[in-house]
Amino acid sequence: MDARQCSVGNRGRRYLVIYAALLKNSVIREMMFKGNFLLWIVVEVAWFAMQLGFISVLYLHTEAIGTWTKWQVVLLIGASHFIQQMYQTFFLVNCLNLSELVRSGKLDFLLMLPVNTRFLLSLRQLDLGGLVNAAFAVAVMVYAAGKLELALTWSRLLVFLGLCGLGVGIHYCLMFTLATVSFWTVRAQGIVHGYYNLFNIARMPDEAFARGSVFRSVFTFVLPVLLISNVPVRLLTERLTPASVWLLAGMTLICALGSEWVWRLSVRRYTSASS
């Protein structure tokens, strides 16, 4: 092992130690406000139940949306909720807090620390309630898969989780990019919360929108939220094409590169609250 490999390994271990400390602080913080922790879980579960109820009512009047049957859409909603909650667990609170850090000048302290600033900004806090809500989503997906009599293998499930990970990455990159608007406007919570509402589009079957329509094109190639859960679910239901996988991976890479470019541009513009 050469010096460069040793350096990379040491740096990786250092960041793992830092993240473990951040995780410990997040758990302590959550346990200090148990009521808020439980209430947020109840609210998210109620919202999830409302989404499932809406689908049940919708399928009283139709047998399919495009080629999507009732239980395929239930599986889609479960996958979308799972991806959303995993994103919320690790990134949402941190993206929402960026605006306040810029406004108050607390970002100055983070910029001076001998660690990657974006790493700290993105992973400082953990929302443990998101993990609980993600478990409810998994339960719904398992039930829907049983209704569809899907023949699932471990390899397919691993690929499914990988595709869900790409979806989480897209959500994070898009939300973080919007959060950096605070470097120009100081307050950007409204914009960030606006994107959070777009999560609802990820719950919809892509075939609900006409192929080639402006809406479908925008939410596939500009804000690719239609890909986030549709692609993983198509894998489970054996309707996935290689082109869809490459499209999801490509859009994730584009979002990541764009997000990093905007972040670096924003930091160069930052003059701190005290200057």
Residue 68 phi, psi (nearest 5): -90, 120
**Predicted confidence band of residue 251 (pLDDT cuts 50, 70, 90):** very high
What would the mean pLDDT of 34-53 be, rounded to a whole number?
A: 80
Burial 219-232 (b: 16+ CB within 10 A, else e): bbeebbbbbbbbbb
- Report the C-alpha gap between 109 and 217 in whole angstroms: 41
| Most distant pair of Cα atoms in the chain: their distance | 66
Determine the pLDDT at residue 65. Answer: 84
Least confident of 7-11, 13-17, 137-141: 7-11
pLDDT in tens, 165-195: 999 999 999 989 988 887 777 666 666 667 7
Q: Of 183, 177, 222, which is closest to residue 201 (Cα–Cα)?
A: 222
Return the higher-pLDDT residue of 8 and 116.
116
- Mean pLDDT (whole number) for 149-156: 90
For residues 105-110, give the mean pLDDT.
Answer: 84
Residues in the chain, overall count: 275
The more confidently predicted of residues 210 and 237 is 237
How far apart are alpha carbons 152 and 70 in whole angstroms? 19
| CB under 8 A, 24+ apart: contacts of 136-139 | 136/45, 136/48, 136/81, 137/48, 137/78, 137/79, 137/81, 137/82, 137/85, 138/78, 138/82
Q: Report the distance separating Cα 166 and Cα 170, nearest Å.
A: 6
pLDDT at 32 over 90: no
pLDDT of residue 144: 94
